Amino acid sequence: MVELRVQEQQILQSIENNGGKASVEQLIVTLNLSDAAVMRNALTLQEKNLISIHAVTQSIIKLTDEGKLYAQTGLPERRLILAVAEMDGQADLKIAAEKAAIQEQFIQIALGWVIRKKWASYSGKNNLLKLSEVSATEGCDEGLLKFLVNREHVSFDELSVEFKDEAEQLKKRKLVIIELKTTRFLQITQEGKVSLAEGKTVQQEITQLTPELIITGKWRVAKLQKYNIDAPVAKTWSGKKHPYLSFLDKVREKLVILGFQEMTGTSVETSLFNFDALNIPQDHPAREINDIYYIKDPKYGDINSYGAIVERIKETHENGWQTGSTGWGYKYDFEAAQKLILRGHGTCLSARALESKDLQVPSKHFSIARVYRPEVVDRTHLSEFNQIEGIIVGSDLNLRDLLGVLGKFAMEIAGASKVRFKPDYFPFTEPSVELSAYKDGYGWIEFGGSGIFRPEVTQPLGVSVPVIAWGLGVDRLFMMHSGIDDIRMIFCPELDWLRKKQVI
């Protein structure tokens, strides 16, 4: 004997009353149950072989908002010739359109249809629209619009042949849409009918265990309903760290373990530290408005406290000062040095660390800096992103050490198995090295740029020992790490993506 619960019995009975077959939608309405409740019970009934579930997919034709409007007010071409008819069979196109209340941008469309349907002729010379002698009878398209206007769920397959052809035309005019709709039907089985007829299996069951049942001990006599534990449940969304920030946390942690201390600074920076201190001449293309954001107001920062340093930087740019360099050979402009910009790289923080009175030898520093470039945002460009950069200051550092540091980063931070070095160029380092790392599954990837700061950079800042400088392409690394191919996902505006993004 099969046991039936209340809702199961109700559903079975309702199907039987409906002639042995009913759709889920019908049952939701008749029994005032939720979709989930009907489906949960239907699945149990199917398991018990009392019903079978069928899904039928149909093409449904529906009017669009524009279609609905025309079904009520008439197609624009119809309205146009009606207006012309009222004006004795011929009229100026603009006047007729105005009379027919057709908006400017739809006039040409309405005219096109009038001509195509041969309802009127049109002379472009004098803009005159003249009705045809044949009267404009109601077209099949208009018939279909009327047919659809008060009906829902019209099956495309059940339309007449003429209507079917017309439906395709109206779809092109975006007046109707044809969409697939799946309806689930529940059909009672022979066994189901028997169970219903026996009609004695209904038993009251407890769904939610309540404090009252526990305290009073009533739970001993109650029958607790067995759940369908396979049934889907509502989603729970936890609070989580942003995947990109979480990635930066890990990089920060690794750098701290490797003995680096974090540097910070402001996004608004003076040209002095973003450019001049880094041996970037004042007419360098990187300082053009296409490459760096300038601040509108205030335009200039205050570099008075760096008097001696600015003087040395000026000399270095002009003639090399005491650095052994020829310098760039131009006239240095103090005003240009004061210009405020949004920092274009994190290297300005390294310059500030070198300038600091607290600089120790040896020491290692890193920064995770928000940097800015006037880029149009697309799959591969952001106008605002992060750079991880750093320096190592030590009296005997050399190119071998630089390569060793890069190799360490590639292994520790990118999880690379092999590294490769190429000559690179930065105005502030010499020698300069580009790091490529080989990562299983990804191949060779460009991973960062680096070098030994030029004497033109270190000496004016008061540093006489070699300084290794490096920068890592952290955004690219994150994209690889999390399998995304659109850099805009870093500032992802989709809550759903953030909720579903796995933490590992």
Partner 1 sequence: MPTIDIDYKELQQLLNINFNGNMEKLDDVLAYVKAEVKSYNKHDETVNIEFKDTNRPDLWCVEGLARALQGYIGHKTGLKQYCIAKSDVEVFVSKELYDIRPYIACAIIKDIHLSDFIIRGLMHLQEKLDQTYGRSRKKASIGIYNLDLITPPIEYTSVNPKDVAFVPLGFTEKMNLYQVLEKHPKGCEYGHIVKQHPLYPMLFDADGKILSFPPIINSNDLGKVTEESKNLLIEVTGTSQKTVQNTLTIVTTMLIDRGGKAYDTTIHYPDNSNYTEKQVTTPNFNSQQLTLNVEYTNKLLGLNLTPEHIKELLKIAGLDIKGMSKTEIAVLIPCYRTDILHQVDLIEDVAIAYGYNNITPNWPQLPTTGKQKPDQQLINYARDLMIGLGYQEILNTTLTNPETLFSKMNTPPTPFIEIQNPKIITMTCLRNQLLPSLIEFLSNNQSTEFPQKIYELGKVIHPNQMYETKTREEEHLVAVTTHPTANFSEIKSVLDNFLSNLGVDWQIKHFVHSSFIEGRAGKIVIDSQDVGIIGEISPQVLENWKLENPVASFELDIQQIIDKKSLTLKTQ
Q: Binding to partner 1 (CB under 8 A): which residues in 18-77?
A: none
With 0-12 / 13-18 / 19 or more C-beta atoms within 10 angstroms meaning exposed / middle / buried, residue 77 is buried
Q: Which of the ranges 49-57, 96-104, 142-150, 397-405 carries the binding residues for partner 1, by CB under 8 A?
A: 397-405
Sorted by sequence, the CB contacts under 8 Å of residue 404 that are 6+ apart come out as none
Which residue's CB is nearer to partner 1, number 181 or number 299? Answer: 299
Q: Is 298 in the site for partner 1 (CB under 8 A)?
A: yes
> 21 — alpha (psi -120 to 50), left (phi > 0) or beta?
beta
Q: Which two tokens stand for residue 78?
A: 């119809």
Q: Which of the ranges 58-66, 161-169, 225-233, 496-504 carries the binding residues for partner 1, by CB under 8 A?
A: 496-504
Query: Is 342 strand, coil or helix?
Result: strand
Closest CA to 23 of 53, 3, 46: 53
Range 261-285 burial, b when 16+ CB lie within 10 A, else e: eebebeeebbbbbbbbbbbbbbeee
Of positions 43, 82, 85, 295, contacts partner 1 by CB under 8 A: 295
x-or-dash pattern for partner 1, window 324-363, by CB under 8 A?
xxxxxxx---------x-x-------------------xx
What strands lie across the sheet with 176-188, from one edge to the other? Answer: 21-23, 176-188, 51-63, 154-155
Of positions 143, 374, 415, 462, contacts partner 1 by CB under 8 A: 374
Which residue's CB is nearer to partner 1, number 311 or number 430? Answer: 430
Site for partner 1 in 405-434 (CB under 8 A): 405-408, 420-425, 427, 430-433
**What residue ranges in 132-260 does DSSP mark as E strands?**
154-155, 176-188
Q: Is 192 in the site for partner 1 (CB under 8 A)?
A: no
Of positions 97, 144, 391, 392, contacts partner 1 by CB under 8 A: 392
Q: Which two tokens stand for residue 168?
A: 């395709």
Which residue's CB is nearer to partner 1, number 80 or number 272? Answer: 272
Which residue's CB is nearer to partner 1, number 16 or number 384? Answer: 384
End-to-end Cα distance, the chain: 50
Of positions 85, 115, 303, 336, contacts partner 1 by CB under 8 A: 303
Which residue's CB is nearer to partner 1, number 9 or number 282? Answer: 282
Residue 403 CA to residue 387 CA, distance in Å, equals: 20
Which residue's CB is nearer to partner 1, number 178 or number 465? Answer: 465
How many residues are given for the chain? 504
Which residue's CB is nearer to partner 1, number 123 or number 267? Answer: 267
**Lookup result for tokens 């002729």:** 121
Q: Which of the ranges 128-136, 154-162, 212-220, 290-298 carries the binding residues for partner 1, by CB under 8 A?
A: 290-298
Q: Is 445 in the site for partner 1 (CB under 8 A)?
A: no
Cα 311 from chain centroid? 49
Q: How many residues bind partner 1 (CB under 8 A)?
A: 104
Rounded to the nearest 10 degrees, the angle between the axes of helix 6-17 and helix 190-198 is 120
Of positions 293, 332, 470, 478, contacts partner 1 by CB under 8 A: 293
Which residue's CB is nearer to partner 1, number 407 or number 415? Answer: 407
Which residue's CB is nearer to partner 1, number 339 or number 439? Answer: 339
Site for partner 1 in 131-190 (CB under 8 A): none
Q: Which two tokens stand for residue 420?
A: 């490769």
Site for partner 1 in 222-281 (CB under 8 A): 235, 237-242, 244-245, 249, 252, 255-264, 266-270
Q: Is 465 in the site for partner 1 (CB under 8 A)?
A: no
Q: Which two tokens stand for residue 481?
A: 């790490």
Site for partner 1 in 304-323 (CB under 8 A): 305, 320, 323
**Lookup result for tokens 């300069």:** 432
Q: Which of the ranges 6-14, 61-69, 131-139, 283-291 carries the binding residues for partner 1, by CB under 8 A?
A: 283-291
Q: Is 377 in the site for partner 1 (CB under 8 A)?
A: yes
Indicate the pairing of strand 363-372 with strand 261-262: parallel
Closest CA to 10 of 39, 34, 41, 36: 41
Q: Is 448 in the site for partner 1 (CB under 8 A)?
A: no
Residue 331 CA to residue 318 CA, distance in Å, equals: 6
Q: Is 442 in the site for partner 1 (CB under 8 A)?
A: no
